[in-house]
A and B are shown apart, each in its own frame.
Chain A
Amino acid sequence: MLESEGVDSIFGYPGGVLIGLYDELEKSDIRHYLVRHEQGAVHAADGYARVSGKVGVCLVTSGPGATNTVTGIASAYCDSIPMVVLTGQVPTGLIGNDAFQEVDIVGITRPCTKHNYLVKDVNELADTIREAFHIARSGRPGPVLIDLPKDVLAAVTNFKEPKGPVAMRSYNPTVKPNIKQLTKVIKELLKAKRPLIVAGGGIISSHSSQALTDFARKLQIPVTTTLMGLGAFPGSDPLSLGMLGMHGTYRANMSTGDCDVMLGVGVRFDDRVTGKTDTFASQARIIHVDIDPTSIRKNVPVAIPVVGDCKATLDMLNELLAEENLGDIPEKREPWLGRIAQWKAAQRLAYDQKDVIKPQYVVERLCAITEGKAIISTEVGQNQMWAAQYYNFDRPDHFITSGGLGVMGFGLPAAIGAQVAAPNELVVDIAGDGSIQMNIQELGTAMQHKLPVKVVILNNGYLGMVRQWQELFFGKRYCATNMETQPDFVKLAEAYGATGLRATKPEEVDAVLRKGLAAEGPVIMDFVVEREECVYPMVPAGAAITEMLLV
């Protein structure tokens, strides 16, 4: 059944109630990746799903196995990642008895899954699995959990493969947008003097970055992306403004405060993007395209709502555009693009590389050496923001980050999943010394399954992002953020049988990167960086997005 859903890889961890299922799995063609902690399995399935475009699958046992997946599921839910999580459960007769390793995982994950099931009858199993995959990958994608009691797993039934598309009475996401709304969108954008596109993760999950790029170029509209949208529009295109938001570029954030029409596609306008919502683009008419109606008018007022798949919408918009005369666009756009160029010239992303390694320098060199082609995963905090700012993403599906939930410890297991999906590509986890310690045990998974992921640690001995807030807003009182006590990451890598390298001076950075990236198998590269470097620009929490603290 799983095979017929296109599953070729599963990330999991066995346990008491799953022994029988694992015994069967061994006989199938599905490859199983044994993680070291169930949280790692979910993040790996997340990374796998993003790179492969397929549904990520994990398999864990009941009780603690199931509860350990919750953080990963919540992260995948926030980031709209298609995933099916199979959890073992105690036999149906024992459910509710507080049995050994029993937990109500369906109850626990109800608010952080797109949907979930407890299968009580083996005859419902096949339909449930089919429905789960359908729900996970359609509409706004998301994680679906199926709880499988031991006796249901052991039961034998006459399996008849269900055929045809899944039909559900109560679930029919709107894919094709309303054409009337689209004509309004075209009219509005043709009229606009200072239009701006805000592109998000929806572009990536609907595989519409080419359609978006065509559309933006035809109309000469500058594009800024959210963190989840990095790679949705080529970062090196002259129309690209980089990322917007709390740590967005000066020109991107200033543009939101000056545009007259804003087209948001596949974004949800969360608080890290908008800053203070009352002032966010309050001068602009906002057009909002999203497949999830709840995203529209949740955080910002919208003039033209469009419910639909980003790909379907952009394809139709491109068709409508073909009928328009766009000859005067370049001339019309000149003043607006000129103003943006001025912002760009006034404030660039910058740092001053002196005697101590700057974290930004490491990311910039990594980008140069890999020619911007690596698949990058990140942990969460300063490392994530520097990766977003200083690695240039020209293609979608190459930046993997826990954007919504912000899970420290995400990067290494996600890189492992990405490597499974793309065995021949270079996968690099950009990490901090704090985050990497949250799921460092997954180095064992990478070793066992020969997945050559590379880890770049920007090591400042602090929980850097919290320290930055303490420096700026709490009188430099660094409570509970000093993490100088840490393992020797080089020796730690070696203890796992991986390669460990370290750079302590700027002139060593290139050599370590080149050697580490070229080495076989998993590698940890430990870069000892400026301890108190901050991420700039920064918009203080609750301030307007155009009120940035600059370097």
Chain B
Amino acid sequence: MSDEQHVLSILVEDRPGVLSRIAGLFSGRGFNIESLCVANAAQEGISRITLVTWADSVIIEQIIKQLHKLINVVKVNDLTEAPAVFREMALIKVSAKPEFRAEILRIVDIFRCKVVDVSAEHYTVEVTGDQGKIAALLDLLKPMGIKEVARTGITALSRENKNGH
């Protein structure tokens, strides 16, 4: 059995310590967390945690069951099982020497991202997309010199049925 990436969408009650319960569950049982994205969900008092992990089929079954077992967890969905939209946002501070400025702006244009901060030596670029797009952009910007990167981790929602049934 080989490890596969799973994106778990977890609805939790917005109570003190709930994140620590989830993080503690993963560390205590030797599961891994690749990324974690937490914010309020649509319903009041409920937060959505989007958690990315790598596991084989036996372990992912355990992870999902163990999450369900936590009292504050309302719902767990494995979004890798069904159609879903995955997005991540990244802020990339890239060195922008005069000779590279035009090139960086061209790349920004092609990737449909934005420059959100400018200084004498740097651009800060905001990009949204799936992981592949962000990886590709980072690859292209690398030669200019990337100073800092801040990524949100994947956030995701399942797709609704297109036919409306």
Q: Which residue of B lies closest to A169 (CB)?
A: B74
Interface string of B10-46 (1 = CB under 8 A from A): 0011001100110011001000000000000000000
Interface centre among B12, B24, B25, B69, by most A CB within 10 Å?
Answer: B69
Please name all residues of chain A whose beta carbon is closer than 8 Å to the beta carbon of B69 when the two chains form the complex.
292-294
The answer to whether A118 touches B20, judged by C-beta atoms less than 8 angstroms apart, is no
CA–CA, A114 and B21, complex, Å: 11
Q: Which residue of B lies closest to A113 (CB)?
A: B71
Chain A interface size, under 10 / 10 to 19 / 20 to 34 / 35 or more: 10 to 19
Please name all residues of chain B whose beta carbon is closer than 8 Å to the beta carbon of A297 when the two chains form the complex.
58, 61-62
Q: Which residue of A lies closest to B75 (CB)?
A: A170
The answer to whether A170 touches B13, judged by C-beta atoms less than 8 angstroms apart, is yes
Please name all residues of chain A whose beta carbon is closer than 8 Å to the beta carbon of B74 when the two chains form the complex.
169-170
Of the listed stretches A104-112, A223-231, A353-361, chain B binds A104-112
The answer to whether B65 touches A294, judged by C-beta atoms less than 8 angstroms apart, is yes
Interface centre among A169, A170, A298, by most B CB within 10 Å?
Answer: A170
Cβ-based interface call for A115 (8 A): yes
State which of B21, B68, B71 has its C-beta within 8 Å of the C-beta of A135.
B71
Min CB–CB distance A340 → chain B (angstroms): 32
The answer to whether A111 touches B24, judged by C-beta atoms less than 8 angstroms apart, is yes
Please name all residues of chain B whose beta carbon is closer than 8 Å to the beta carbon of A106 when the two chains form the complex.
17
Cβ-based interface call for A171 (8 A): yes
Cβ-based interface call for B131 (8 A): no
Number of residues on chain B facing chain A (CB within 8 A) = 20
The answer to whether B62 touches A298, judged by C-beta atoms less than 8 angstroms apart, is yes
Cβ-based interface call for B8 (8 A): no
The answer to whether A110 touches B66, judged by C-beta atoms less than 8 angstroms apart, is no
Min CB–CB distance A304 → chain B (angstroms): 16
Cβ-based interface call for B77 (8 A): no
The answer to whether B17 touches A110, judged by C-beta atoms less than 8 angstroms apart, is yes
Cβ-based interface call for B7 (8 A): no
Min CB–CB distance A178 → chain B (angstroms): 16
CA–CA, A115 and B66, complex, Å: 13
Interface string of B143-165 (1 = CB under 8 A from A): 00000000000000000000000
Cβ-based interface call for B72 (8 A): yes
The answer to whether A170 touches B24, judged by C-beta atoms less than 8 angstroms apart, is no
Please name all residues of chain A whose beta carbon is closer than 8 Å to the beta carbon of B71 when the two chains form the complex.
114-115, 135, 168, 170-171
Please name all residues of chain B whose beta carbon is closer than 8 Å to the beta carbon of A114 when the two chains form the complex.
71
Please name all residues of chain B whose beta carbon is closer than 8 Å to the beta carbon of A292 when the two chains form the complex.
69
Please name all residues of chain B whose beta carbon is closer than 8 Å to the beta carbon of A107 when the two chains form the complex.
17, 20
Min CB–CB distance B16 → chain A (angstroms): 7
State which of A168, A293, A298 has its C-beta within 8 Å of the C-beta of B68.
A293
Please name all residues of chain B whose beta carbon is closer than 8 Å to the beta carbon of A110 when the two chains form the complex.
17, 20-21, 24
Please name all residues of chain A whose beta carbon is closer than 8 Å to the beta carbon of B20 when the two chains form the complex.
107, 110
Min CB–CB distance B64 → chain A (angstroms): 9
Extra contacts, 6 of them, besides A170-B71, A298-B62 (Cβ < 8 A), are A106-B17, A110-B24, A111-B24, A111-B28, A171-B71, A297-B62
Q: Interface residues, chain A, CB within 8 Å of chain B? A: 106-107, 110-111, 114-115, 118, 135, 168-171, 292-294, 297-298
Q: Interface residues, chain B, CB within 8 Å of chain A? A: 12-13, 16-17, 20-21, 24-25, 28, 58, 61-62, 65-66, 68-69, 71-74
